[in-house]
């Protein structure tokens, strides 16, 4: 019985010492964990300040990106505006002058003036000879004082797909 009692007292003493060491280790590690927690909180505050500072820049960037997306959508047509305009201007007689050129989805409106009806007729014939244009029609003719002796006209040209 004495041996068992000695063994129990020694074993419990070792267990108590080990538990006290674990408790002391946990107590000391708390200081390290508190310091790490404080460092992480400071880092979070710094990153929040950086995010707040770059908020305006990001907003401007997103607005510019949206504008670029709209511009890309407008310029990504199958038939660019300048291609049809180049074709039309290549077939303008020398005494025909263009006031406005409006290219919508499948239709082009051309307004201009000329000193003679023959030049306007030649311009219409030239446009009809192009493969890309289906129908060329004279929408209006103005012989008034607006052009001072010149004949004003508006043409409607339908493009083929």
Q: Residue 135: what pLDDT?
A: 86
Lowest mean pLDDT among 21-30, 50-59, 132-141: 132-141
Q: What percent of the chain has pLDDT over 90?
A: 46
SS3 95: coil
Q: Which of 67, 110, 68, 56 is nearest to 88 (CA)?
A: 110
Asked which of 38, 57, 74 is the last residue of a domain, the reply is 74
Domain count, the chain: 2
Q: Residue 44: what pLDDT?
A: 96
Q: Which residues contact 19 (CB under 8 A, 6 or more apart)?
A: none
Is 129 buried (19+), middle (13-18) or exposed (0-12) by CB count in 10 A? Answer: exposed
Q: How far is CA 130 from the centre of its chain?
A: 36
- Residue 110's CB: how many other CB atoms inside 10 A? 23
Mean pLDDT, residues 20-25 taken together: 95
Asked which of 26, 50, 74 is the last residue of a domain, the reply is 74
**Same-domain check for residues 96 and 121:** yes
Query: Which tokens go with 148?
Result: 């001072």
Asked which of 51, 74, 97 is the last residue of a domain, the reply is 74
Ordered strands of the 97-103 beta sheet: 97-103, 107-114, 151-159, 133-142
Domain holding 120: CATH number?
Answer: 3.30.1360.100
SS3 128: helix
pLDDT tens column, 119-130? 999 999 998 888
Q: What average pLDDT does the structure give for the chain?
A: 87
Q: Which residue has the tokens 């401007």?
A: 60
Domain coverage including residue 136? 81-159
Q: Residue 77: what pLDDT?
A: 59
Q: Is the pLDDT of residue 146 over 80?
A: no
Q: Is the pLDDT of residue 94 over 60?
A: yes
Neighbouring-strand partners of residue 137: 156
Provide the whole-model pTM: 0.50
Strand 107-114, strand 97-103: pairing: antiparallel
| 33 vs 5 pLDDT, higher one | 33
């Amino acid at each position: 019985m004495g041996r068992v009692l000695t063994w129990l007292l020694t074993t419990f003493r070792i267990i108590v010492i080990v538990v006290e060491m674990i408790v002391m280790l946990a107590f000391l590690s708390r200081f390290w964990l508190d310091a790490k927690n404080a460092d992480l909180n400071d880092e979070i505050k710094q990153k929040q300040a950086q995010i707040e500072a770059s908020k305006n820049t990001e907003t401007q960037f997103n607005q510019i990106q949206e504008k670029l997306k709209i511009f890309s959508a407008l310029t990504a047509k199958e038939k660019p505006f300048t291609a049809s305009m180049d074709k039309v201007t290549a077939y303008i007689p020398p005494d025909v002058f263009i006031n406005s050129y409006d290219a919508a989805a499948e239709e082009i409106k051309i307004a201009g003036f000329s000193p003679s009806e023959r030049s306007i007729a030649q311009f219409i014939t030239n446009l009809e000879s192009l493969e890309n244009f289906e129908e060329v029609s004279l929408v209006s003719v103005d012989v008034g004082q607006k052009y001072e002796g010149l004949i004003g006209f508006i043409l409607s040209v339908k493009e083929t797909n």
